[in-house]
Amino acid sequence: MSNDLLVVENLKKHFVTSRGTVRAVDDVSFAAKEGETLGLVGESGSGKSTVAYTIIGLHAPTAGTITFAGKDMSTAVQKRPRALKRALQIVFQDPGTSLNPRRTIEQILSLPLKVHGIGSRRARRKTVVELLRQVELPPEYLFKSPHMLGGGERQMVAIARALATNPSLIILDEPTSALDVSIQAKIINMLCGFQDEMNLTYLFITHDLSLMRNVASRVAIMYLGKVYELAPTDEFFERPMQPYTKMLLSSIPVVLPEEEAIKPSRIVSEGEIPSPVNVPPGCGFHTRCAEMGEGCDSDEPHLVEVKPGHFVRCHQCAEPVTAEIAGKE
């Protein structure tokens, strides 16, 4: 569609290791529209972080294409044009290591400005102070080092760094997972504010489904390198179809009785998550699936649009007749 900012088609990223080929991302397709927040949820080994790193260019894709604002960028970051590096930014998940402990905040924030030649040296300090103000940090923080700040403040600096080049899309990889609830609330509200002000698009990755409910407009769930369900947020949470989605939703510890009511009935998860080196044949989830049936352990299901905008990868859910391979609107 015309206002798809980021389009990912049949993306694959495999790592060859001594233990075998790790199929971290194994045929993933989706699109993020301008101004929306697309959520990517999954547990460890799902490949959601690898998707993020491949889109941002830290890995070159093994197969598939990534298109941003109409331009192809299916390469590693070193080969991408500078303008693209300006428009696409990422906030990493661990605020402890995403800022160089041996540099000052001023140095960290002025790096993107320097690299992209934004402003003269004098103007840069002013810009950095302005960035700090946007994330509600005082100007004195210019001279501090990251280890003097708390986790929440470090993450705010990381967000300020991502905003420095005035990007169009920001990938947020578990931005608040390491933070406390009250700081998380502050940061999420700040991010929503920025999104409205600057018409940003977010690719929001987290394992916290309660958080996802409140930030994303559409949610995709990943397992062992593939997207297993993709739907608008309310659909996803209130009418999940994929057994894995239902299992995940039923496992979340919640506080309020109305939250408990909305959860699918408790599906007890047995066993461990298989390693991406040994993806089970057929449907990758069949080893833990309560609704496993004929063919689940031999035929791989495809991602199928079962309702408008609601895609599911499951033999038991999809109508076999209208099998239509889809991944984007």
Partner 1 sequence: MGKSVLQIRDLHVEFKVYEGQLMVLNGVNMNVPAGARVGLVGEAGCGKTTTMRCVLGILQSPPGRISEGTILFHDRDVLKMSQANLQRIRGGGISMIFQDPVAALNPVFTVGDQLTAVIRYAAAKKMDKKEIRRRAIKALGDVQLPDPDRMFSSYPVQLSGGMRQRVCIAMALATEPELMIADEPTTALDVTIQAQMLRLLNELVEQRATSVIFITHSLGVVKEMADWVYVMYAGNIVEGAKKEILFANPLHPYTVGLMGALPKLTGGGIAEGIAGRIPDYLNPPTGCRFNPRCRRAMEMCSGERPEFREVEPDHHVACYLYGRDADVQ
Partner 2 sequence: MPEELKYGAFQRRWESFRKGWYKFSRNPVSVIGLIFVFGVAFLAIFAPYVSPYPGHASKYVNFAEASKPPSGTHLCGTDVFGRDILSRVFFGFRYSLMMGIVVLALVVIPGVILGLVAGYYRGTWIDTLIMRITDIFLAVPALILALAVTSVLTPNIFNAMMAVSLMWWPWYTRLVYGLASSLRNEFFVQSAEVIGASRRHILFRELLPNCVSSIFTKMSLDMGWVILIGASLSFVGLGAQPPIPDLGTMVSDGSKYLPDQWWISIFPAFAIMITVLGFNLLGDGFRDLFALEEI
Residues at the site binding partner 2, with contacts judged by CB under 8 A: 56-58, 77-78, 82, 85, 89-90, 92, 94, 97-103, 107, 111-112, 115-116, 140-141, 143-145, 147-150, 158, 161, 165
Q: Which positions from 142 through 201 interact with partner 1, judged by CB under 8 A?
A: 150-151, 179-186, 188-189
Distances (CA, A) of 46 to 43, 53, 273, 284: 6, 13, 9, 11
Q: How many CB atoms lie under 10 A from the CB of residue 181?
A: 9
For the chain, how long is the longest CA-to-CA vector?
Answer: 68
**Alpha-carbon gap, residue 141 to 292, rounded angstroms:** 55
**Minimum CB–partner distance for residue 251 and partner 1 (Å):** 4
111 binds, among partner 2, partner 1, none (CB under 5 to 8 A by kind): partner 2
**Minimum CB–partner distance for residue 26 and partner 1 (Å):** 19
- 321 near partner 1 (CB under 8 A): no
**Minimum CB–partner distance for residue 205 and partner 1 (Å):** 14
**Alpha-carbon gap, residue 32 to 7, rounded angstroms:** 7
Between residues 271 and 320, which has the closer beta carbon with respect to partner 1? 271
Q: How many CB atoms lie under 10 A from the CB of residue 235?
A: 18
Using CB under 8 A, count the residues that bind partner 1: 41
Q: How far is CA 50 from the centre of its chain?
A: 9
Q: How many CB atoms lie under 10 A from the CB of residue 20?
A: 12
Give me 54's structure tokens.
Answer: 């491949």
75 binds, among partner 2, partner 1, none (CB under 5 to 8 A by kind): none
Between residues 120 and 210, which has the closer beta carbon with respect to partner 1? 210
Between residues 77 and 183, which has the closer beta carbon with respect to partner 1? 183
Q: How far is CA 96 from the centre of its chain?
A: 19
Per-position x/- string for 232-271, each x denoting binding to partner 1 as judged by CB under 8 A, each - no binding: -xx--x---------xx--xxxxxx-xx--xx----xxx-
141 binds, among partner 1, partner 2, none (CB under 5 to 8 A by kind): partner 2
Closest CA to 249 of 273, 213, 280: 213
